[in-house]
Amino acid sequence: LGALCAIAIPALSMRIGVPDDGNAPTQTTQRIAFDQLAAGFGPGFNGPIQVVVELPTSGGQVIVDRVHDALQADPGVGAVTAPVSNAAGDTAVLTANPTTAPQDERTDQLVRHLRSEVLPATVEGTEAKVSLTGQAMVTDLTDRITNRLPIFITAVVAMSFLLLMIVFRSILVPLKAALMNLLSIAAAYGVLVAVFQWGWGAELIGLHSTMPINPFLPLIMFAILFGLSMDYEVFLLSRVREEYVATGDNHEAVVRGLSSTARVITSAALIMISVFGAFVLSDDPNGKLFGVGLAVAVLIDATLVRMVLVPATMSLLGKANWWLPGWLDRILPHLDLEGAPSVPEVSPQPERELTAV
């Protein structure tokens, strides 16, 4: 348990961001072009911020000039292009190149600073409206997914807890299952941060530069891994529950349940590790992220969590595993995973004729 917590610690410093051509292999044309543009025009040239100004019917040029000057004066902006207006003269577009690279956290801070402070103050008192796109779109996407991720995780965990409580008639069993699943996923997140953000062992998988974690990856990883982890948990617990109902001995039920399901769980995990591990061979950094994260998580879950921590905690808790308040037991519906036992069909016997003697 302590080892898994230690592995999960790097996840606290996870930085969400969109990989770009700067993470491509060094010999590819897109990486060469990316590096040359950054060297010749500054790192922010690869992540420009487009500023769109919707102008009122009068005084439009003055407002555009003020926006241009405000952008140019900001220390986070390296260069600002001359404004380009449409034929009607009611919209102007400017491009601001940050002084930092697209994946730099200071670039995201610049987008938020321009949107919340610099630009509103510039057009205050006018009817002009200012919007940001380009690199700002990446920042917005990252912020939106990051803010929604806790809601998604909470909903999935709550629904899983409720369903397991109904099926296994217990409070501690679903609570323990949810915590163990979260622990294995957190450990996988920690490995991703250590490899892709910190660069630990990155060259072993063909990665030549550090990178942020793709904003879609934590979301997709959680959905897939929580489902797989819960699948393995149900394999194990359904067998343990069956033995406990038959014998009433919690320790013996855990031993028998583990011995009869261990081979199934490890075999299924090996298949998934092989599938996910194949993504590591891809040249695409996102493929490597996906493969490493999922393969490590399944490996941890099927070995340390499912084969060690879950049986150990169930043995320690004893009959408390199956405790459920009476009032709660009465209101929860009853679900049977196994179904009713099959009864062998008996073919009807032909009637015998009675003969007089």
Instruction: Please say whether the beta carbons of 190 and 10 come within 8 A.
Output: yes
Q: Which pLDDT does position 350 carry in this prediction?
A: 57
**10-residue averages of pLDDT along the chain (357 residues):** 87 87 85 92 93 84 92 94 89 94 92 94 90 93 90 91 87 89 90 91 82 89 88 86 86 89 89 91 86 91 87 87 84 67 50 55
User: HEC states along 59-127?
Assistant: CHHHHHHHHHHHHHHCCCEEEECCCEECCCCCEEEEEEEECCCCCCHHHHHHHHHHHHHHHHHHCCCCC
Same domain, 196 and 319: yes
Range of the domain at 208: 169-331
C-alpha span between 167 and 237 (Å, rounded): 10
Residues 95 and 240 in one domain: no
Distance set, CA 54 to CA 58, 114, 138, 187 (Å): 12, 16, 22, 47
Backbone dihedral region of 201: left (phi > 0), alpha (psi from -120 to 50 degrees) or beta? Answer: left
Q: Are residues 133 and 173 part of one domain?
A: no
CA distance 289 to 295: 10
Q: At 203, which amino acid appears?
A: E
Burial class of residue 238, CB neighbours in 10 A (0-12, 13-18, 19+): middle
User: Does residue 253 lie in a domain region?
Assistant: yes
Task: Tell how strand 77-80 and strand 91-98 pair up.
Answer: antiparallel
Let me know if residue 302 belongs to a domain: yes
Q: Are residues 175 and 107 in the same domain?
A: no
Q: Are residues 92 and 190 in the same domain?
A: no
Domain closes at, from 138, 160, 190: 138
Residue 207 falls inside a structural domain: yes
Q: Which two tokens stand for residue 285?
A: 């950094």
Are 33 and 174 within one domain?
no
Q: Which class for 181: exposed (0-12), middle (13-18), buried (19 or more C-beta within 10 A)?
A: buried
Residue 62 falls within a domain, yes or no? Answer: yes
Backbone φ and ψ of 90, nearest 5°: -105, 0
Do 226 and 185 contact (CB within 8 A), yes or no? Answer: yes
Which pLDDT score, from 0 to 100, does residue 241 have?
87
Q: Are residues 199 and 119 in the same domain?
A: no
Using alpha carbons, list the distances in angstroms from residue 189 to 160, 175, 222, 248.
Answer: 21, 21, 10, 39
Per-residue model confidence (pLDDT) at position 343: 45
The neighbour count for residue 208, using CB atoms within 10 Å, is 14
Are residue 173 and residue 309 in the same domain, yes or no? yes
Q: Assess whether 173 and 125 both reside in one domain.
A: no
Given this model, what pLDDT does residue 348 score? 53
CA 128 to CA 150: how far, in whole Å? 36
Backbone angle region of 4, left / alpha / beta, with phi > 0 → left and psi within -120 to 50 → alpha: alpha
HEC profile of 206-263: CCCCCCCECCHHHHHHHHHHHHHHHHHHHHHHHHHHHHHHHHCCHHHHHHHHHHHHHH
- Determine, yes or no, domain membership for 357: no
Same domain, 33 and 178: no
Report the CATH number that the domain containing residue 130 is assigned in CATH.
Answer: 3.30.70.1430
Neighbours of 303 (CB within 10 A): 15
Q: What is residue 342's predicted lDDT score, i.e. its pLDDT?
A: 44
Is residue 350 assigned to a domain? no
- Sign of the torsion angle spanned by Cα atoms 59, 62, 64, 67: negative
Number of structural domains in the chain? 2
Please indicate, yes or no, whether residues 134 and 184 belong to a single structural domain of this protein.
no
Say if 55 falls within a structural domain: yes
Say if residues 128 and 63 touch (Cβ distance below 8 Å): yes
Q: Does residue 326 sit in the same domain as residue 202?
A: yes
209 located within any domain? yes
